[in-house]
Structure 1
Amino acid sequence: MAAVTRCSFHLVRRLLSHQYKRRCVRVQTIKTHKDQQPPAFLSKLNNARLFHTTSAWRGPILQFKLSDIGEGIMEVVVKEWYVKEGDKVSQFDSICEVQSDKASVTITSRYDGVIRKLHYTVDEIALVGKPLVDIETDTGPEVPQEEDVVETPAMSREEHTHQEIKGHKTQATPAVRRLALENNIKLSEVVGTGKDGRILKEDILNFLAKQTGAILPPSPFRETHESQRPKEKQPATQPATQPAAPKPVLTTKDVTESLKGFHKAMVRTMTAALKIPHFGFCDEVDLSRLVALRADLKAISEARGVKLSYMPFFIKAASLGLLHFPILNASIDEACQNITYKAAHNIGLAMDTSQGLLVPNVKNVQLLSVFDIARDLNRLQALGSSGQLGTSDLTGGTFTLSNIGSIGGTYAKPVILPPEVAIGALGKIQILPRFDSNGQLVKAHILNISWSADHRIIDGATMCRFSNLWRQYLENPASMVLDLK
């Protein structure tokens, strides 16, 4: 009997040993980064007893899929990876930035673990519903040992918060995220001033102060560093910031590349715009009184933490005009059978950014003051310059103004952005000689305006009357007070 027992024992040990060796060979085929130490579970496994299996030391490898980011988007372009194979990640850590034809999106991790595979390279097209990365999770021995690879289920609405729609990775501590949540602030709208764009508590408080109009004292860090800087005499008027001139490029052969992201969206939008019969109308506006009014209000606005330009007045005057001519704030269906009059005045501002032409919009201008509009424009301009404009800022527009004068030029022929039916292009403000009501030659601040309207539903007389009303509000800005809500 003892001999039978010893024989059975040796047989079981031999089988377990064979199984152990087979699993060890399988585990050691995992690739590791050149500069990275082998995973901890490999060293543990070498010292483990024979009856241990690899599943006790290794979590499942999950395929993290690109979920639906809305707006009917089915593919995106991978713009940048924030991780590489072998990197450890935690929940909410940024994994990569992708770009659709509407906005940029930062994908953040849903798991704690180690990146094992990147499924795409930079500038490759990633498909919604397909894996972005494989993540080996650190979940301990309680994980079921049935399979080594598990696919992630479809993301729920709550899990969708791991994908923050904006143009750059968001980094913030849990305390900062909780502060933003308590004050109903989207992190995608806050510009981080910490290292690598990290959002600090001070950034949240400053953003909240701008929203409420409160004035916060400077932080000790900023106060100390600003006091050490030599004070420079600032000119009375700051010229418009001009982008650096592009460098000349000499090539010896033709280069062909596919259209992606915002360029692809522009092709689609302008192709649709070509179907619209455009009616053009141009005029000039004397902004002399508005120039004086802005000079009086500029210091007050800056004391509240908001830079006041002329654009908030242009936008508010347009909204007041749309109240009298609602057909300019409408849309028409593809069959040209129905007109929808929009209740909200979501007025867009065309911006020249490093990502191309973007048109974010200020929501519900009909309910906002000039100061409210200026504050939101400051936010949009900050997000645009840092590449952080989100889908909510770039969609839903009902009327557009294009400030081509910030670059140069007086007149333009703006192209309507479907499904909108009207757009205006602002030229640069020039100091020109004009005659006043008494026939005296005076110095005037002249702005040229160019309008385009959908001639299928808007006639020339309507466009002209709207332009005249818009001009009257700006030439006599005090009259705007009578119609402000």
Structure 2
Amino acid sequence: MKELKFVDVGEGITEGHIQKWLVEDGSAVKEDQPVVQIETDKAVVNIPAPISGSIKIIANKDADVKVGDTLAYFGSADELKAAPSAKEVQPVQRKDAKEQVKPNEAAIAPGARAKEVLATPAVRKLARDLGVDMSQVIGTGPNGRIVENDVRAFASKKGGAPIPKFSEAKEESHKGEIERIPMSQVRKAIAKNMELSWTIPRAVHMDLIDATHLFGIVEKEKQKMQNAGTKLTFLPFIIKATIEALKENPKFNSSYDKERQEVIVKKYYNIGLAAEADDGLRVAVVKGADRMSIVEIANMIEELGKRVKDKSISIDEMTDTSFTITNIGSLGGGYLSVPMINYPDVAILGVHLIRDMPVVKDGKIVIGKVLPFSLTFDHRVVDGAEAVKFGNAIKGYIEDPEFLEML
């Protein structure tokens, strides 16, 4: 009999949420067959079966699990008869002492013994806010896990007044009815990253690029590329131009070590691309983009975009950026904006919708294809003059017909 545990999937992941089981309890599965889908704060990961055999599911759908928790058992039908049930499985010993709620001595009933409690950080915080000693609460969740309703019910009994379950209750005020919607693991991670980003002293540089020649190349080659199986857009050219500008302005391809007060200049070019999913933003990474051709980058962008949408993108494909680009123009709107820096990057480039605007050609005003861009940068690492120089370098490459024709 083989035990399936929620293993460390990297990038500091410590907990997850079981979205769904991909197989039925008691069914036969093959080795390496995906059996359960778990949402972490980075991505949705599929956990495969370690061996071939029948499966006995221990952790239920919608359960919150920690690294090391038992999810299921695999083996023959006879072996699984001896497997413990969900109630018999003991949670792993938690190492994070900060998450353990200290018993409130005044709230402990006479003769009661302190016990290890199993609950998410959000539920623990709720208990602290309500003055609830979690060692006295009986958990109704999977494996005896204490859930929000358990804490609120206990607090209601202790204080006598019912406490509404905010995640479901509809509240009214003089302004009208409202609804509270719980945040997903991914949305919580986005919120945390935005808070980190907000700690960066930022500034923004904006400019316009004459993309008339670039527009012509894409329009000319688009159908031919499509016939060959490649969806050609402006973005691969923008990525290549940005990489050349990064080589000339290496501080923008870096991160800042606040503790040691050092700038970590990266000698690789992993370009993060902000991509929208139905449950929040992801940053998919084109790794080693400097070594790739326009066609290779275009194919990679399309493949990563599909994986973001169907939630099959791996954590490795969303980490280790050196610089990030957000293609606001692909959403169909926006003239200029101030993108949030993708922590711990030093800068982010926002490119907008290419539109017809007046440009000067040979002393005459004509209508050209203009690409607005915004460059948000960490003012601790680079100054405004350096940002203008970097922006001008990007602009120069995109406006250079010879550079574009070489790609």
TM-score interval, normalised by the smaller of the two chains: 0.7 to 0.9
What is the CA distance between 1:346 and its match in structure 2? 0.6
Partner of residue 120, structure 1:
60
- What letter is aligned with 1:376? M
What is the CA distance between 1:324 and its match in structure 2? 0.2
Could you tell me whether the CA contact under 8 Å between 1:413 and 1:452 is conserved in 2? yes
Q: Are 1:271 and 2:211 matched, yes or no?
A: no
What is the CA distance between 1:458 and its match in structure 2? 0.4
Q: Which one is further off, 291-300 or 323-332?
A: 291-300
State how far apart, in whole Å, the 2-side matches of 1:90 and 1:367 are.
38
Could you tell me whether the CA contact under 8 Å between 1:85 and 1:118 is conserved in 2? no
Could you tell me whether the CA contact under 8 Å between 1:84 and 1:118 is conserved in 2? no
Deviations 1:371-395 (A, max 9, x none): 2211211221222232221112100
State how far apart, in whole Å, the 1-side matches of 2:404 and 2:245 are.
10
Could you tell me whether the CA contact under 8 Å between 1:355 and 1:387 is conserved in 2? no
Q: Are 1:346 and 2:279 matched, yes or no?
A: no
Taking the TM superposition and a 5 Å limit, the aligned residue runs for 1:160-199 are none
SS for the counterpart of 1:401 is strand
Structure number with larger C-alpha Rg: 1
State how far apart, in whole Å, the 2-side matches of 1:406 and 1:480 are.
21
Partner of residue 19, structure 2:
79
- What letter is aligned with 1:425? G
* Greater strand fraction, Structure 1 or Structure 2: 2
Aligned counterpart in structure 1 of residue 348 of structure 2, from 423, 434, 449: 423
Could you tell me whether the CA contact under 8 Å between 2:355 and 2:370 is conserved in 1? yes
Aligned counterpart in structure 2 of residue 138 of structure 1, from 73, 76, 79: 76
Q: Are 1:103 and 2:43 matched, yes or no?
A: yes
- What letter is aligned with 2:363? N
State how far apart, in whole Å, the 2-side matches of 1:121 and 1:388 are.
19
Could you tell me whether the CA contact under 8 Å between 1:112 and 1:138 is conserved in 2? no
Aligned counterpart in structure 2 of residue 410 of structure 1, from 335, 355, 360: 335
Could you tell me whether the CA contact under 8 Å between 2:210 and 2:359 is conserved in 1? no
What is the CA distance between 1:470 and its match in structure 2? 0.6
State how far apart, in whole Å, the 1-side matches of 2:59 and 2:274 are.
35
Partner of residue 329, structure 1:
253
Partner of residue 98, structure 2:
none
Deviations 1:124-170 (A, max 9, x none): 211110111233x1288xx8x9x93489xx9xxxxxxxxxxxxxxxx
Deviations 1:337-380 (A, max 9, x none): 11111011111111111231011111112222222211211221
C-alpha spacing 1:319/1:85, structure 2 compared with 1 (3 Å): same
- What letter is aligned with 2:25? E
Partner of residue 367, structure 2:
443
Could you tell me whether the CA contact under 8 Å between 2:237 and 2:404 is conserved in 1? no
What is the CA distance between 1:267 and its match in structure 2? 1.5
- What letter is aligned with 2:275? M
Could you tell me whether the CA contact under 8 Å between 1:77 and 1:260 is conserved in 2? no
Deviations 1:268-320 (A, max 9, x none): 11111111100111001111111111222223322432111000001000000
- What letter is aligned with 2:283? V
State how far apart, in whole Å, the 1-side matches of 2:24 and 2:227 are.
45
Q: Are 1:477 and 2:401 matched, yes or no?
A: yes
Could you tell me whether the CA contact under 8 Å between 1:410 and 1:426 is conserved in 2? no
Q: Are 1:453 and 2:391 matched, yes or no?
A: no
- What letter is aligned with 1:115? I
What is the CA distance between 1:251 and its match in structure 2? 9.1
Q: Which one is further off, 104-113 or 85-94?
A: 85-94
C-alpha spacing 1:327/1:480, structure 2 compared with 1 (3 Å): farther
How many residues align structurally? 319
- What letter is aligned with 1:474? I
Could you tell me whether the CA contact under 8 Å between 1:345 and 1:366 is conserved in 2? yes
Q: Are 1:88 and 2:12 matched, yes or no?
A: no
Partner of residue 288, structure 2:
364
> What TM-score does the superposition give when structure 1 sets the normalisation length?
0.61
State how far apart, in whole Å, the 1-side matches of 2:222 and 2:397 are.
19
Q: Which one is further off, 261-270 or 445-454?
A: 261-270
- Give percent identity, aligned residues only: 29
Aligned counterpart in structure 1 of residue 317 of structure 2, from 383, 393, 397: 393
C-alpha spacing 1:300/1:380, structure 2 compared with 1 (3 Å): same
Q: Are 1:129 and 2:102 matched, yes or no?
A: no
Taking the TM superposition and a 5 Å limit, the aligned residue runs for 1:30-49 are none
What is the CA distance between 1:481 and its match in structure 2? 5.7
Partner of residue 147, structure 2:
none
- What letter is aligned with 2:71? L
Deviations 1:241-280 (A, max 9, x none): xxxxxxxxx9986444543321111111111111110011
Partner of residue 174, structure 1:
none
Aligned counterpart in structure 2 of residue 378 of structure 1, from 291, 299, 302: 302
What is the CA distance between 1:428 and its match in structure 2? 0.8
